[in-house]
């Protein structure tokens, strides 16, 4: 094989010094500004001149927006795997899916022991990592209802609750050199992450061979395992191109403590390697793969969908039935689903790409999914496509004075309310914060402010939509007015809404009260309720939930009661 056809990525390897503590953070931010894909930090928890790597990763995640983050590599012996798995999933959720998981078996045993860790032989260290990987994956498998039992001699997890599910499938990369670790990498990991200074000539080929053999023996495709390399600062673009094409390395990580080295790497070397590798792949007919799925995942694909024909803009984030993030799409609030492919565009252009994919799949059903609270269940389907616009979730106050607000379809109403409240603004919506803007603003919107403010769609002033043919058009009372009329009530039948302009209302203090009534004489209760609401000022809206008495009991003393 090698080249395995993986997309090329470039990252930095930054020393997590704590004096000055801002230094690694600034270098990480610079890495992102320079366009690098990945920022990594070594992890030596026994080293007092370093910041704790996990804390630093969390801090850097908050200071950056796009770049991927990883330990290089995390020290397993001093990090309890079940806790580490939850920490990684949490940071992945908080950072929008930017965590990768470089991990190692540990090395400096005296220092590890001095910190209270258990000294292991190299063979035991590999077995411990083997167990820990099961703990990581088992913890992240939040859709699995069974309690997690994993590990064995080193880490025994015995009935732990699973979750949280990370925002994306966190890749596990192993820092491996010796045959046992390399075979473990081939059997279980998603990536191999050695450092060039520790390698002898020929080690990359030997390592790849062992990994590939172990992968095949475990029924895996060797291409499932990304090959990464910590390089030295003196590597030229030609050196890296050769390593990419001959040794299958696709992610190069440069020492990142010198801003000039980072700049040269990002601005000169990385673009040159990209260009040369792309050219060579074109000549050889090697396809660059967005992602390699294992045979189990491939067996779950549904008929009639051209999985391999997706545009690059959508392929990496697409979710298939065999992927970790799929559970999100197996039930909307009230109904189940089993879509064949979920496209997750992040921009309007990507929505257009997704609509183009859908137009090539007219034989399978299509669902548009915003926040997944649709009562009809049509945002999901069985075996079809779903376009999840959840990533288009921005909320902008264009003009607080006039109440002009622009909201993406993926925002949830609770987020809209949080954003508007400090400005004294509100858009009447439903009674439940988890409902999405996309679903509610294309259908109606009846909520707590309905009697005074009407429906949500009464406050819609314009909407940007991607039509079935791929055109992006604006619809308002004056521009495409018929489409505007259609979007306000039957939106999903006409297009995919990518942005809504609302006129929010200025409101003062709001009050909310909840009463419990004895409605045994239900007809009488309802007519008196109706009369009371009709007589009330229009600023008062009311909703009734009628329920049977629990176990035949009347309300207990102390329950709130009312009488109509």
Ligand X SMILES: Cc1cc2nc3c(=O)[nH]c(=O)nc-3n(C[C@H](O)[C@H](O)[C@H](O)COP(=O)(O)OP(=O)(O)OC[C@H]3O[C@@H](n4cnc5c(N)ncnc54)[C@H](O)[C@@H]3O)c2cc1C
User: By the criterion CB under 6 A, which residues form the site for ligand X?
Assistant: 332-333, 367-375, 378-379, 389, 409, 430-432, 435-436, 438-440, 442-447, 491-492, 496-497
The least distance separating ligand X from the CB of residue 428, rounded to whole angstroms, comes to 10
For residue 159, give the nearest of 151, 167, 168 by alpha carbon. 151
Q: Which is nearer to ligand X, 339 or 374 (CB)?
A: 374
DSSP state of 269: I
Q: How far apart are CA 382 and CA 337, in angstroms?
A: 6
Q: Which is nearer to ligand X, 159 or 547 (CB)?
A: 547
Q: How far apart are CA 133 and CA 85, in angstroms?
A: 9
- Chain-centre distance for alpha carbon 151: 27
Q: Which is nearer to ligand X, 389 or 419 (CB)?
A: 389
> Which residue has the CB atom at the shortest distance from ligand X?
439
The least distance separating ligand X from the CB of residue 350, rounded to whole angstroms, comes to 13
Assign 550 to helix, strand or coil: helix
For residue 21, give the nearest of 44, 55, 45 by alpha carbon. 55
Q: Do residues 253 and 22 lie in contact, with contact meaning Cβ atoms separated by under 8 Å? A: no
The least distance separating ligand X from the CB of residue 407, rounded to whole angstroms, comes to 11
Q: Which is nearer to ligand X, 8 or 387 (CB)?
A: 387
Q: Which is nearer to ligand X, 62 or 375 (CB)?
A: 375
The least distance separating ligand X from the CB of residue 470, rounded to whole angstroms, comes to 15
Q: Which is nearer to ligand X, 256 or 374 (CB)?
A: 374
The least distance separating ligand X from the CB of residue 337, rounded to whole angstroms, comes to 10
Main-chain dihedrals φ then ψ at residue 71, nearest 5 degrees: -70, 150
User: What is 59-125 written as a DSSP string?
Assistant: HHHHH-SS-EEEESSEEGGGS-HHHHHHHHHHHHHHHTS-B-EEEE----HHHHHHTTPPP--HHHH
The least distance separating ligand X from the CB of residue 466, rounded to whole angstroms, comes to 9
Q: Which is nearer to ligand X, 289 or 446 (CB)?
A: 446
Q: Which is nearer to ligand X, 204 or 440 (CB)?
A: 440
Main-chain dihedrals φ then ψ at residue 436, nearest 5 degrees: -85, 155
For residue 249, give the nearest of 293, 285, 205, 290 by alpha carbon. 205
CA angle 362, 367, 372 (to 5 degrees): 170
Q: How far apart are CA 195 and CA 137, in angstroms?
A: 25
The least distance separating ligand X from the CB of residue 494, rounded to whole angstroms, comes to 8
The least distance separating ligand X from the CB of residue 398, rounded to whole angstroms, comes to 19
Q: Do residues 72 and 102 lie in contact, with contact meaning Cβ atoms separated by under 8 Å? A: yes
User: What is 283-342 written as a DSSP string?
Assistant: HHTPPPPS----HHHHHTPPTT--GGG--HHHHTT-B-TTSGGGGGGSB-SS-B-B-SEE
Q: How far apart are CA 326 and CA 178, in angstroms?
A: 35
The least distance separating ligand X from the CB of residue 555, rounded to whole angstroms, comes to 25
Q: Which is nearer to ligand X, 103 or 487 (CB)?
A: 487
Q: Which is nearer to ligand X, 82 or 386 (CB)?
A: 386
Assign 256 to helix, strand or coil: coil
């Amino acid at each position: 094989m090698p080249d395995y056809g993986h997309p090329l990525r470039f990252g930095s390897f930054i020393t997590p010094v704590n004096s000055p503590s801002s230094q690694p953070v600034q270098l990480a931010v610079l890495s992102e500004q320079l366009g690098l894909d990945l920022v990594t930090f070594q992890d030596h928890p026994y080293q007092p001149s370093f910041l704790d790597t996990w804390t630093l990763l969390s801090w850097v995640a908050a200071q950056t927006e796009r770049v991927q983050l990883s330990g290089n590599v995390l020290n397993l012996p001093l990090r309890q795997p079940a806790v580490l798995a939850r920490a990684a999933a949490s940071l992945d959720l908080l950072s929008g899916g930017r965590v990768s998981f470089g991990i190692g078996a540990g090395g400096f045993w005296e220092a590890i022991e001095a910190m209270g860790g258990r000294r292991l032989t190299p063979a035991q260290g590999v077995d411990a990592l083997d167990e820990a990987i099961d703990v990581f994956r088992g913890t992240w498998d939040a859709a699995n209802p069974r309690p997690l039992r994993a590990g064995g001699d080193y880490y025994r997890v015995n009935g732990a609750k699973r979750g949280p599910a990370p925002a994306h499938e966190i890749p596990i990369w192993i820092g491996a050199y010796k045959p046992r670790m390399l075979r473990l990498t081939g059997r279980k990991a998603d990536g191999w992450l050695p450092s060039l200074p520790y390698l002898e000539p020929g080690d990359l080929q030997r390592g790849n061979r062992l990994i590939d053999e172990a992968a095949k023996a475990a029924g895996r495709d060797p291409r499932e395992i990304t090959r990464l390399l910590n390089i030295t600062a003196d590597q030229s673009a030609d050196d890296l191109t050769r390593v990419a094409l001959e040794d299958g390395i696709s992610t190069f990580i440069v020492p990142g403590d010198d801003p000039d080295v980072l700049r040269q790497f990002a601005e000169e070397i990385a673009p040159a390697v990209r260009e040369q590798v792309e050219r060579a792949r074109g000549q050889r007919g090697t396809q660059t793969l967005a992602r390699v799925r294992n045979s189990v995942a491939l067996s779950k694909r549904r008929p009639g969908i051209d999985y391999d024909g997706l545009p690059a803009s959508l392929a990496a984030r697409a979710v298939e039935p065999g992927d970790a993030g799929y559970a999100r799409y197996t039930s909307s609030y009230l109904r189940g689903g089993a879509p064949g492919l979920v496209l997750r565009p992040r921009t309007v252009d990507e929505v257009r790409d997704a609509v183009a994919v859908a137009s090539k799949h007219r034989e399978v059903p299509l669902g548009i999914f915003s926040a997944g609270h649709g009562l009809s269940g049509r945002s999901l389907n069985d075996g079809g496509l779903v376009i999840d616009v959840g990533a288009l979730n921005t909320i902008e106050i264009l003009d607080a004075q006039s109440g002009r607000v622009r909201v993406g379809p993926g925002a949830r109403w609770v987020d809209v309310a949080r954003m508007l409240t400090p400005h004294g603004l509100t858009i009447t919506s439903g009674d439940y914060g988890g409902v999405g803007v996309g679903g509610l603003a294309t259908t109606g919107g009846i909520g707590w402010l309905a009697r005074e403010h009407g429906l949500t769609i009464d406050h819609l002033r314009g909407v940007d939509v991607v039509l079935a043919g791929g055109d992006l058009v604006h619809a308002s009372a004056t521009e495409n007015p018929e489409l505007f009329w259609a979007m306000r009530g039957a939106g999903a039948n006409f297009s995919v809404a990518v942005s809504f302009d609302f006129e929010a209302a200025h409101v003062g203090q709001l009050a909310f009260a909840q009463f419990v009534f004895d409605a045994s004489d239900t007809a009488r209760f309802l007519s008196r309720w109706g009369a009371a609401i009709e007589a009330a000022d229009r600023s008062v809206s009311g909703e009734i939930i009628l329920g049977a008495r629990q176990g035949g009991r009347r309300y207990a003393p102390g329950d709130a009661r009312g009488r109509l």
